[in-house]
Amino acid sequence: MRMVDIITKKRDGGILTREEIHYFIEGYTRGAIPDYQASALCMAILFKGMNNDEISILTDEMCHSGATMDLSKIDGVKVDKHSTGGVGDKTSLVLCPMVASCGVKVAKMSGRGLGHTGGTLDKLESIPGLSVTKSDEEFIRQVNDIGIAIIGQTSELDPADKKLYALRDVTGTVEAIPLIASSIMSKKLASGTDTILLDVTFGEGAFMKDIDSARELARVMVDIGNGLGKNTKAVLSSMEEPLGYAVGNSLEIKEVVNALHGKGPKDLMELCYKCGSIILMQAGITHTEKEGRLMLSESIRSGKAYMTFENMVKAQGGDIAFLENPDKFRESGFIINLISSSEGYVSKINALTIGEVSMKLGAGREKLDDMIDMAAGILLHKKVGDYVKKGDTLLEIHTSRSNYKELIKELEGAFELVSKPVPTHEVVWEVVE
Ligand code: URA
């Protein structure tokens, strides 16, 4: 078998066999197939797609490209939650402590930033000292002890995805349903969880630009998960504007801390309550959404959700002084206000532009080995639906790079103002089960 034949077969719209998919995944993981051939195949898949059988085989081959985890030593129902990515998407960091404090065991493996979207691991690592690396035993012990752990994939787990994820990030091949579905589901299946909740984002700031493709991606993943005996559901959530106000690693951690203290932005909290109430039902803790919402709001009110987050940060070596006093986080060299030169109601804040600019300010990676500036990013002052007066601040730019001036035009273009009031965006549109 030759890799070039597999690439040309897919380029011409052919259907790959298990043997061919196995040859690719096994060879790429081992280092026998070079990045340039793997990226050519990813590009061919992006253009030509894959049928459901090919996606299931790809998922299975990726899942078994390394070790799989046995979580049977964790008592209770193990839940994992995964988002397909967004701008300002810190949902997992608020939601997981909320549900863990209600008795669900959260054994979560997260990813890093991909394209213009941020990654949960990068956000967590902005807390000084925090490590996202744990051995299987340590991971299991932490979940048993405090109910929650959020770590990176170990190098033994799904190594194919680890390599492909990083490659896709820098080769323009993220936005393909077969590649996203297999990337997410192979990790979830390898990590041995019982129950999976997927947050499939759509809109300007998401990889899926419209609800129909989000539904298609959700359907594929939910069917793969349920087909393999994992209780899997998905919500379709809007990513037209950034989620919450903060975009960028430590800026988002500060917003997470506020949210866990009951001062979270409306859109972020609505997504957490919706996802959280589904997870509580999946885990058999509650029977209705209303019951779940009540339990979750009590977890915030009582401080239990915040304490669960703090315990997790402590267990992973993070300095909780930064949570107790978020002013301790290092600030960027430049903090610049973007001022509105007109007035009106905000009808749009282009999440893609905000995500891309945030990356250029240092908050994300443009190349595989780029270092992230944890303090960099964007803090919105306005959301869709807000009224803006001339001279109001639209957002703050946080960066230590002096090239920010070149980005101001792009940021101004991200906002659209209209003269009539506009309704705020719905966050959750549908549940796929
Ligand atoms: N999240 C993942 O884990 N993989 C993708 O491909 C996209 C989002």
Give per-residue pLDDT as tens, 231-247.
999 999 999 999 999 99
| Cα four-point dihedral sign 205, 208, 212, 215 | negative
Q: For 368-381, how does the pLDDT look when each residue is reduced to its tens digit (9 = 90+)? A: 677 889 999 999 99
pLDDT number for residue 233: 97
Q: Is 80 a catalytic residue?
A: no
pLDDT number for residue 368: 66
Q: Which residue owns the Cα nearest ligand 1 atom 6?
A: 180
- 170: pLDDT strictly greater than 90: no
**Which amino acid, one-letter code, is at 234?**
A
Q: What is the mean pLDDT of residues 106-135?
A: 88
Which residue among the candidates 60, 80, 89, 161 is catalytic per the annotation? 161
Which helix (H) or strand (E) is 351 found in, with range?
helix 351-358
Residue 217 contacts residue 177 (beta carbons within 8 Å): yes
| Encoded tokens for 291 | 């019951």
Helical H segments across 12-109, by residue range: 18-30, 35-48, 52-63, 91-100
pLDDT over 70 percentage in the chain: 99
Which helix (H) or strand (E) is 292 found in, with range?
helix 289-301
- 115: pLDDT strictly greater than 80: no
pLDDT number for residue 26: 97
Q: Is 420 a catalytic residue?
A: no
**Strand (E) positions, 165-204?**
195-202
Distance CA 330, CA 303 (A): 26
Q: Is 101 a catalytic residue?
A: no
Q: For 141-152, how does the pLDDT look when each residue is reduced to its tens digit (9 = 90+)? A: 999 999 999 998
**Which amino acid, one-letter code, is at 398?**
H
Residue 24 contacts residue 41 (beta carbons within 8 Å): yes
Q: Please identify, by atom number, the ligand 1 atom nearest to the C-alpha of residue 184.
A: 3
| Encoded tokens for 384 | 């869709």
pLDDT over 90 percentage in the chain: 81
Distance CA 354, CA 408 (A): 11
- 171: pLDDT strictly greater than 70: yes
Distance 85 CA to ligand 1 centre (A): 7
> Is 221 close to ligand 1, i.e. is its CB under 6 Å away?
no
Least confident of 158-167, 299-308, 313-322: 158-167
pLDDT number for residue 358: 95
- 221: pLDDT strictly greater than 80: yes
Which residue among the candidates 10, 82, 274, 360 is catalytic per the annotation? 82
Distance CA 404, CA 399 (A): 7
The candidate with the shortest Cα–Cα distance to 206, out of 28, 379, 355, is 355
> Is 318 close to ligand 1, i.e. is its CB under 6 Å away?
no
Q: Please identify, by atom number, the ligand 1 atom nearest to the C-alpha of residue 179.
A: 6
Distance CA 186, CA 183 (A): 6
Q: Is 105 a catalytic residue?
A: no
Distance CA 421, CA 384 (A): 10
Residue with tokens 């250029």: 360
pLDDT number for residue 194: 86
Q: Which residue owns the Cα nearest ligand 1 atom 1?
A: 84
The CA radius of gyration of the chain, in Å to the nearest whole number, is 21
Which residue among the candidates 92, 183, 277, 358 is catalytic per the annotation? 183
Distance 405 CA to ligand 1 centre (A): 32
Computed over every residue of the chain, the mean pLDDT equals 93
> Is 59 close to ligand 1, i.e. is its CB under 6 Å away?
no
Count of beta carbons in the 10 Å neighbourhood of residue 76:
15
Which residue among the candidates 22, 78, 105, 168 is catalytic per the annotation? 168
Q: Which residue owns the Cα nearest ligand 1 atom 2?
A: 184
What's phi and psi for 315, nearest 5 deg? -65, -25
Q: Is 161 a catalytic residue?
A: yes
